[in-house]
Amino acid sequence: MIIKILYFARIKEAVSYSTEEVDLPADVSTITALKNYLSLRGDTWASLFNGKQVVRAAINHALVDDLAVIQAADEVAFFPPVTGG
Amino acid sequence: MTIHIQTDDFDTGLMLNKLRLASPSIGALVSFVGQVRDMNDGDAINTLTLEHYPEMTEKALVAIENEAKIRWDIIDSLIIHRVGTLKPLDQIVLVAVTSAHRGEAFKACDFIMDFLKTGAPFWKKETTSQGERWVEAKLADDEAKERWK
């Protein structure tokens, strides 16, 4: 299934781009699975998504936990803990 | 309930008067203004740049205002949050709440700030004499949010 992924703040800088479309294998259907899948892209990705850094996720503009299920055409966003206000 | 995400500064006095004068049933107006400090973690701050996730920011803030309205008997609320590059003494955020009596407005304003700090998709990057760095989220902000459970 094809989804859109957005990256923000230090994660955007680390991966050097802000948005992409990805065609996911059928077994990548949760945030945890997607993080593991992205970790396979290389050292930078592994260090971001191997669980040592806190990376928050949103699906279709709502904060979710890592067990949340991803569906086709979803907009998934990854970002560090927020620091507004 | 009003939300503004903007790069421009805002006139706090004007905004508060508008909110206060909206109804004679309002007996209390509580507000919070956050501004850029000149020091953070021991370093002088030159600029503070706020990035956000535009499609999510407004939704997140609306949800926070709605939750405040469910929890307390408030009349209206206002959130203004700036994005872009700011400098010390610049205003970052204004949260204001009106109610018939002060208790509800105080609590709702405090609640909105705690949830904004931990749930609205803004990120701060500061420029100091040491260079650029992302501001780290604070455990104290998570703890403050836990109070409302």
Predicted complex ipTM: 0.95
Burial of residue B67 (number of CB atoms within 10 Å: 0-12, 13-18, 19+): middle
| Residue of chain A whose alpha carbon sits nearest to that of B126 | A83
pLDDT tens by residue, A55-85: 999 999 999 999 999 999 999 999 999 999 9
Mean pLDDT of chain B: 97
| Residue of chain B whose alpha carbon sits nearest to that of A81 | B137
The token pair at B143 is 């703890």
Q: Are B86 and B35 in contact (CB under 8 A)?
A: no
At residue A52 the predicted structure's pLDDT band, cuts being 50, 70 and 90, is: confident
Using the Cβ of A64 and the Cβ atoms of chain B, whether some distance falls under 8 Å is answered with: no
The stretch B93-105 carries a mean pLDDT of 98
Using the Cβ of B80 and the Cβ atoms of chain A, whether some distance falls under 8 Å is answered with: no
User: What single-letter DSSP state applies at residue A69?
Assistant: B
Q: Which residues pair with B50 in a beta bridge?
A: B84, B124
Q: Global pTM?
A: 0.96
Q: What is the dihedral of CA B111, B114, B117, B120, to 10 degrees?
A: -40
CA distances for B56 relative to B5, B36, B59, B122, angstroms? 11, 24, 5, 10
pLDDT at A49 over 90: yes
